[in-house]
A and B are shown apart, each in its own frame.
Chain A
Amino acid sequence: EVQLVESGGGLVQPGRSLKLSCAASGFTFSNYYMAWVRQAPKKGLEWVATISTSGSRTYYPDSVKGRFTISRDNAKSSLYLQMNSLKSEDTATYYCARLGGPSLAYYFDYWGQGVMVTVSS
């Protein structure tokens, strides 16, 4: 059974940093692209970052480019999101998600339960 379990969320002040983690199990982690998707309270879904199987290629929307960094440790079957210079508009539930295939252009076939990040003074 595919399982994705996020951790590391919490309350953080604007301008500070936070690192999220996602522990994966039930599949060969190194064979899949992985991503982070977020959802602001009572809002829709926004893609945040994608990383290739080896970790050599990363992709971000303009809203987080230069502030967020996605990374992975295939030996530990873990995915990370380093978030710097946080803004109030980054307040959201962050989901770890698996892309449904071994390349960039795939849907998200499994999602974690999500972790809440609140950016407020």
Chain B
Amino acid sequence: DIQMTQSPASLSASLGETVTIECRASEDIYNGLAWYQQKPGKSPQLLIYNANSLHTGVPSRFSGSGSGTQYSLKINSLQSEDVASYFCQQYYDYPFTFGSGTKLEIK
């Protein structure tokens, strides 16, 4: 199985700041990577797919990058509504696997 190592586990930042969340795969996943946002008490929502493509309706302050085994999610101009947990997921190979999540809070 492909292991997904996500960091940091938690993150605290001020409004307007830029934050970056990292995800490392245990082998090359050829950009088969998605990022999800899960707000408290809600279901996950797709943000980014194919490592760098923005899902419909997602604000442009979210962006994804990376290749091979290393990927990142960047959030520009942090807003209060961005308080959530964020998960990466590889869909290059079964079983699909997720990162352990990053909890983002506002300072």
The residues of B with any CB-CB pair to A shorter than 8 Å are 32, 34, 36, 42-46, 49-50, 55, 87, 89, 91-101
A-B contact pairs, 17 of them (CB 8 A): A44-B98, A44-B99, A44-B101, A47-B95, A47-B98, A50-B96, A59-B94, A62-B95, A95-B44, A104-B94, A105-B93, A107-B34, A108-B46, A108-B89, A109-B46, A109-B49, A113-B43
Known: A44-B98, A46-B98. A107 touches B43 (CB 8 A): no
In the assembled complex, the CB of A74 is this many whole angstroms from the nearest CB of chain B, namely 23
* CA–CA, A61 and B36, complex, Å: 21
User: Once bound together, how far apart are the Cα atoms of A111 and B98, in whole Å?
Assistant: 15
Q: What A residues does B36 contact at CB under 8 A?
A: 45, 108
Q: List 4 tightest A-B contacts by C-beta distance, closest first.
A: A107-B34, A47-B96, A61-B95, A111-B43
List A contacts of B49 (CB < 8 A).
Answer: 100, 107, 109
A108 to B38, CA, bound (A): 13
The interface residues of chain B, by DSSP majority, are classed as loop
Number of interface residues of A (CB under 8 A): 22
A109 touches B32 (CB 8 A): no
Once the chains are docked, how many angstroms separate the CA of A37 from the CA of B87? 13
> Given the interface contacts A95-B44, A107-B46, A111-B45, does A45 sit within 8 Å of B89 by beta carbon?
yes
- The complex places the Cα of A47 from the Cα of B87 at a distance, in Å, of 13
Residues of A contacting B99 in the complex (Cβ-Cβ under 8 angstroms): 44
Q: Which residues of A contact B (CB under 8 A)?
A: 37, 44-47, 50, 59, 61-62, 95, 100, 104-114
Closest Cβ–Cβ distance, residue B85 to chain A (whole Å): 9
A50 to B93, CA, bound (A): 13
